[in-house]
Amino acid sequence: MPAEGSPESESKPTSSRAGHPAHHPQHHDHLGDFTATPRLLAISALAVVVGGVAAYVSYGLLELIGFFTNLFFFQRVATSLVSPAGHHLGPWVIAIPVAGGLVVGVMARYGSDRIRGHGIPEAIEAILMSGSRVDPKVALLKPISAAISIGSGGPFGAEGPIILTGGAFGSLVAQFFHLTSAERKTLLVAGAAAGMAATFAAPLASTLLAVELLLFELKPRSVVPVALASIVATTIRRHLMGMGPIFPVAVHPAFIGYDGLLGCAFVGLLAGGFSALLTGAVYAAEDAFQRLHVHWMWWPALGGLVIGVGGWIFPQALGVGYDVIGTLLTGDAPLKIVLGVLIIKSLIWSISLGSGTSGGVLRRC
């Protein structure tokens, strides 16, 4: 027989009864990630709170965007989401995005440079590089800077900032309770998913998107809290923003025919290619700004100049553009709107986003 402690003896599993291997601790550790422990109840309870707060954060950011849009373009105090396209500023509209870019640049330099960017990449960076820790200053400055950027005409969506802000709150809650790195990640992603769910009233899609983009795993310890946060945020959203969808469409048949399915496949291929071109344009703009011999604080203002010129030519390119999306979804948008979105909005979007301003986009880098 091999001596006790020899490699031969360590390679053979011991057994309590003949033919039945003992359950080693390593065996339990291997399966532990896929089991639900009582700890899951506590994390889920915190995720419910994070989801509720994220719904109010989402609502507050949309109200803030409406406030700055009304202030910049119509010189009035209101929080309703309106399109900047209805302004009467004439060529002076060019100065509005420049002013917004100057404010964002100052906030980034003297507040936190983490507010620069799109939202989701910053959340991914916090997960991968910072142990899911988000600076409290980012949680405060990101939504304010994004609201100023979008409210002054930036052609961005509110979703990216909402995702980062909701995720930042989840991270702060986890840090307050001194949770583990895995639990911090869970609450960060729960806040991000809740922000998406509150914006679009889509808890299932938000959960799946958060799993694919931020969570990097499909395990009960993390998916359950994220799903609960999304459901809570969607429920509260109905009381804050109403029951209807964010993009209502006309009634259409459930089956659009084989020609329609073929058309959808063709449009999907075109969208994939166009998205690759947009991504390349953003990277090209970032590289171009890097070569400028001016401090990065001034870059958002230069990007704002491009926004202003584009908005003067095609006013519908300014702002979030929910109204333009609604028009396109009706299927009877004029050719001018379609070409304006494809050419002018895409151009000013990629350049201004490459300038490092505080914007938002559902894009993975």
On whether the CB atoms of residues 282 and 353 are closer than 8 A, the answer is yes
pTM of the model: 0.81
Residue 182, pLDDT > 90, answer: no
Can you tell me the mean pLDDT for 151-166? 84
Q: Could you give the 3-state DSSP secondary structure of residue 253?
A: coil
How many Cα atoms occupy the beta-carbon half-sphere of 339 within 13 Å?
4
pLDDT band at 299 (very low <50, low <70, confident <90, very high): very high
Q: Could you give the 3-state DSSP secondary structure of residue 358?
A: strand
Question: Rounded to 10 degrees, what is the CA torsion of 269, 273, 278, 281?
Answer: 180
Can you tell me the mean pLDDT for 86-98? 92
Q: How many CB atoms lie within 10 A of CB 74?
A: 15
Residue 69, pLDDT > 90, answer: yes
Can you tell me the mean pLDDT for 354-363? 74
What is the pairing mode between strands 15-17 and 358-361? Answer: unpaired
The Cα–Cα gap between 21 and 56 comes to 53
* pLDDT reported for residue 5: 44
The Cα–Cα gap between 97 and 112 comes to 21
Residue 81, pLDDT > 80, answer: yes
Task: Enumerate the domain spans of the chain.
Answer: 39-357
> CATH for 39-357?
1.10.3080.10
312 CB-contact burial (10 Å; exposed 0-12 / middle 13-18 / buried 19+): middle
pLDDT band at 27 (very low <50, low <70, confident <90, very high): very low
pLDDT band at 16 (very low <50, low <70, confident <90, very high): very low
Q: What angle do CA 323, 328, 332 make, to 5 degrees?
A: 120
The runs of H, that is alpha helices, within 152-219 are 159-176, 181-200, 203-210
The runs of H, that is alpha helices, within 211-290 are 220-241, 257-290
Extract the tokens encoding 332: 């009877």
User: Which residues is 361 bridged to in the sheet?
Assistant: 119
The Cα–Cα gap between 309 and 95 comes to 9
Residue 105, pLDDT > 70, answer: yes
On whether the CB atoms of residues 152 and 55 are closer than 8 A, the answer is no
pLDDT band at 97 (very low <50, low <70, confident <90, very high): very high
Least confident range from 11-15, 193-197, 295-299, 355-359: namely 11-15
Q: What is the pLDDT of residues 209-261, one digit of tens each?
A: 888 888 888 888 889 999 999 999 999 988 888 776 777 777 777 788 888 89
Residue 196, pLDDT > 80, answer: yes
Residue 249 corresponds to which amino acid?
Answer: V
The Cα–Cα gap between 294 and 356 comes to 13
pLDDT band at 269 (very low <50, low <70, confident <90, very high): very high
Residue 364, pLDDT > 50, answer: no
Q: What is the residue-averaged pLDDT of the chain?
A: 83
Can you tell me the mean pLDDT for 100-129? 80
Q: What is the pLDDT of residues 325-352, one digit of tens each?
A: 888 887 778 888 888 888 999 999 999 9
270 CB-contact burial (10 Å; exposed 0-12 / middle 13-18 / buried 19+): exposed
The Cα–Cα gap between 198 and 191 comes to 10
On whether the CB atoms of residues 349 and 160 are closer than 8 A, the answer is no
* Among the listed residues 143, 102, 195, 158, the one whose alpha carbon sits nearest the alpha carbon of residue 321: 158
Q: Could you give the 3-state DSSP secondary structure of residue 201?
A: coil
Helix-helix angle 136-151:95-110, to 10 degrees: 170
* pLDDT reported for residue 33: 60
* pLDDT reported for residue 15: 42
pLDDT band at 365 (very low <50, low <70, confident <90, very high): very low
* pLDDT reported for residue 8: 41
